[in-house]
Structure 1
């Protein structure tokens, strides 16, 4: 590697925006810990966990209590005829009025324990668990995207900083070239046309500096958005080839078995099959045991009281519901077929993603090798053109073009180095293995099963664990 190559790599690998150094793994860890997207996904999975106890509640007892309390005004009017015992023919009409107030009250307690529901609860619980597993896979996908975006943001800052340094150095070289061109003009060696060419190239170089600075500012903004902080002194970002298989076929095989998009689609298909069984349960009879305790006082009159208790079985046999359940079953079967097709689509998408990322990785390797060769040749060409120009065999435009070719070659190497690193992480993500565990980051791993185990068997309570 030439001296210029080493300077180029140094420019790519050291970005000094503050005194404290930052590594790629450190940036990935901070992105993982602080990402609102990941935290939002975790909350969504925790919400899915609650679907399991909701489904299991179908076979748990239900208790309802009721009470009545009021004020009642009682008024009784009695009309009768009193018979004179001495003369039975004599009847005297009399009327008596009785009035009073009472406080009628009643209470009842009903407990129902389902015994058989056509296996609806069991299938609904299995369906809810399958939905939880699908949610976990989608959370893994979110984590992969956040980590890959963090890699891109980190390497983009390195790339754009190095590109800006090259453009600024090019302006300095063009400024010196313009000074030398004016001296040669004063010496009568060249014409005003050469000066105009040098001035035009310098103006173009200053414009490219402005563009490079704007690109760096955009990359710094993306870095802050993804990582959560301003970039500091960034250490080199290396590819992760050690974690990748040797062949594309091995990558595809692993992706088919582990990629979260495929696994989530398969869980969705399983959940759709279980949904059919849940709906079909509505065709089956339902049996439950019902207990009832009832008491009332002063309801029909003063000082009366009634207490009753009963236990019985309730059987509900569906006969015809207007075709609603039948339509729901047909709909669920179509949805299940759609979910199986979605799984096939997911497999095809992942294979296409693997091949695109693998191809980008191989292309980046080739581009780096070609760019290094191009830089070495461009450096020799520039040296030769300058020496020939001293002898009057080359023009100022030849020198400027040679400088531009060398600049483009160096920038091409920077971009190829960026693609090399990011593409290696992209291949790892397309396998479904881009995670803090695979990268051996010192992170406290979030385990969604912890929350699931705490809530799946809860019978009550409104406080989140």
Structure 2
């Protein structure tokens, strides 16, 4: 027998195997796909909006340093009737008149001291902003990693589908030749049935592979935002992987956004204790008022008054509610410190796990390449032996399946090799558009913060909404 895999059917397999080669000029590369995800992924855009909303906590806190100004006014109508003495002849005079009294007032209040609540609230808001930025970095990392994973899954499933379809063609030719040999009496009906069974199973595997590919395409579309077209081979990001596991763990504990976000959450909780304690301190304000009244007694009258006064409020007892909130805030701060330690442990475990997966993936690629080479030699030998009657049809079918499995294993190992490298970089907190060198505009959270942090008024957001 001289059945061979069609060379054209091996193009995708070979492209995936040669991960270091470059694809066509018009092909979508892994980095260009990640750039699309970075610029248009809705989950990432939503997190950016959340950071912009958190930025507004700073001008809210800074408002405690500024005076509050309010205006008030009243207007009404009144009717007066009276009988007074002193009319002509010493008689009584009836007085009937309508008035439209009104007042206009302006009140200005400036806080001078409030137990340092304003200062601590500003620091707390700034910590919230920094924590939100780290959460955004975490979302960026997750999006980029998911994009890389989806990209490689499409490549893997495309190559596997191609192999499965090629396997059907090989088995169809195998079945045709087996039937010809059966017709001339060289093999039995059992050999034909074995070939038919193996062909039916191969067609079933094609359907499974098609379903897997469609699922991977759907996830790719969800993350990247476009349908995959002409994907070039993916490349591992070994240049971003630390040289040793110890270095990777150290970097992760120091730079991972989840750790930094947890530490900022500790700061926010500790400052909340100080803000709440400030409610027990005296509050000192300066209050100024200007009022003008019209027609309060008779038509056309007008009176103006102005006052300025210092105001001090000393809380004596509030039923224990403030004390309870102080104790509650302290317990929350303790919880945040414990959560920060737990986050460190999670990051350490993730780094070690991803590092092990990367090492295993590297070894699997080498083993799978050796397996494919050996299976190809074995298949050639089995076919030659079957031609001289030393092997059965089942032996040939089994060896063909062995080679198919080896090639599928190689494709999967190569996919795992690329994804594992991204996983290590993700686990240490260095998977970003800047580190990958993505050809896209880098989103700056600081830009919006600088635009709004000192705004004393205005309803429009910096983008005009």
- Scaled to the shorter chain, the TM-score interval is over 0.9
> For the Cα contact (< 8 Å) 1:297–1:304, is it kept in 2?
yes
Given candidates 363, 366, 370, the residue that maps to 2:367 is 370
Task: Tell me, in whole angstroms, the C-alpha distance in 2 between the residues paired with 1:11 and 1:54.
Answer: 54
Matched, 1:212 2:209: yes
* Aligned twin of 2:27: 21
* Aligned twin of 2:4: none
Given candidates 97, 108, 113, the residue that maps to 2:110 is 113
- Is 18-27 or 110-119 further displaced after alignment? 18-27
* 1:19 shift after superposition: 9.8
* Aligned twin of 2:168: 171
Given candidates 149, 153, 156, the residue that maps to 1:152 is 149
Matches within 5 A, 1:127-142: 127-142=124-139
* 1:407 shift after superposition: 0.4
Given candidates 68, 84, 94, the residue that maps to 1:62 is 68
Cα distance change on mapping 1:309 and 1:171 into 2, 3 Å: same
Deviations 1:30-53 (A, max 9, x none): 111111111111110010000011
Deviations 1:278-327 (A, max 9, x none): 00000100101111111112112334332111111000011000001000
Task: Tell me, in whole angstroms, the C-alpha distance in 2 between the residues paired with 1:186 and 1:345.
Answer: 72
Deviations 1:58-81 (A, max 9, x none): 121011111122222121123689
Given candidates 294, 300, 305, the residue that maps to 2:302 is 305
> For the Cα contact (< 8 Å) 1:5–1:372, is it kept in 2?
no
* Aligned twin of 1:332: 329
* Aligned twin of 1:44: 50
Cα distance change on mapping 1:367 and 1:11 into 2, 3 Å: closer
Q: What residue ranges of structure 1 are gaps of 5+ in the alignment?
A: 83-91
* Aligned twin of 1:440: 437
What SS does the corresponding residue of 1:21 show, helix, strand or coil?
Answer: coil
> What TM-score, normalized by structure 1, do the two folds share?
0.93
What SS does the corresponding residue of 2:323 show, helix, strand or coil?
Answer: helix
Matches within 5 A, 1:272-351: 272-351=269-348
Q: What residue ranges of structure 2 are gaps of 5+ in the alignment?
A: 1-6
What SS does the corresponding residue of 1:320 show, helix, strand or coil?
Answer: coil
Whose radius of gyration is greater, 1 or 2?
1
Task: Tell me, in whole angstroms, the C-alpha distance in 2 between the residues paired with 1:211 and 1:303.
Answer: 93
* 1:179 shift after superposition: 1.2
* Aligned twin of 2:3: none
* Aligned twin of 1:85: none
Given candidates 449, 458, 463, the residue that maps to 1:461 is 458
Task: Tell me, in whole angstroms, the C-alpha distance in 2 between the residues paired with 1:396 and 1:342.
Answer: 63
What SS does the corresponding residue of 2:290 show, helix, strand or coil?
Answer: strand
* Aligned twin of 1:404: 401
Task: Tell me, in whole angstroms, the C-alpha distance in 2 between the residues paired with 1:444 and 1:341.
Answer: 37
What SS does the corresponding residue of 1:464 show, helix, strand or coil?
Answer: coil
Matched, 1:266 2:263: yes
* 1:109 shift after superposition: 1.0
Task: Tell me, in whole angstroms, the C-alpha distance in 1 between the residues paired with 2:70 and 2:165.
Answer: 79
Over the aligned positions, Cα root-mean-square deviation in angstroms equals 2.0
Task: Tell me, in whole angstroms, the C-alpha distance in 2 between the residues paired with 1:38 and 1:255.
Answer: 22
> For the Cα contact (< 8 Å) 2:12–2:158, is it kept in 1?
no
What SS does the corresponding residue of 1:144 show, helix, strand or coil?
Answer: helix
> For the Cα contact (< 8 Å) 1:262–1:346, is it kept in 2?
yes
Task: Tell me, in whole angstroms, the C-alpha distance in 2 between the residues paired with 1:293 and 1:261.
Answer: 53
